[in-house]
Amino acid sequence: MALKLVFLGPLEDLAGAPEREVASAPSVSQVLARLEPDLAAALSSARVKCALNGAIVHDRDAEVLKSGDELAFLPPVSGG
């Protein structure tokens, strides 16, 4: 099984698609380490939040991921 990554807002353009399936890994940091370097750098920004199945992840090194989980990357929302 795999993980589903969801890229919101402008991150979609950077990732080339709104969603992507990747091989499972134990922590968010380890998931990021396997992505393209520029995308990994953008997702690692302090301004980008990460949600695991709808709950914000505070420790990206925690080894909590299970196969089938959904990880969403949330940049600052738009004004206006």
Partner 1 sequence: MNWRFSRLSAGGEMPRNAADVRLFTCSFSPEAELARFTQAHPRAGGVVSFLGQVRSSSGVEAAGDAVEALELRHYEPLTLPAMHELAERILGRWDLEGLLVIHRSGTMMPGDPIVLVAAAARHRRSAFAAADFAMDHLKSESWFWKREKVGGQWRWVEPRAEDYQDIARWS
DSSP string, 27-46: SHHHHHHTS-HHHHHHHTST
- E strand intervals along 1-80: 2-7, 19-23, 49-52, 55-56, 70-74
Q: Which is nearer to partner 1, 49 or 60 (CB)?
A: 49
Does residue 10 belong to the site contacting partner 1 (CB under 8 A)? Answer: yes
Binding mask 11-40 for partner 1 (x = CB under 8 A): -xx----x----------------------
The CB-of-13 to partner 1 minimum distance in angstroms stands at 8
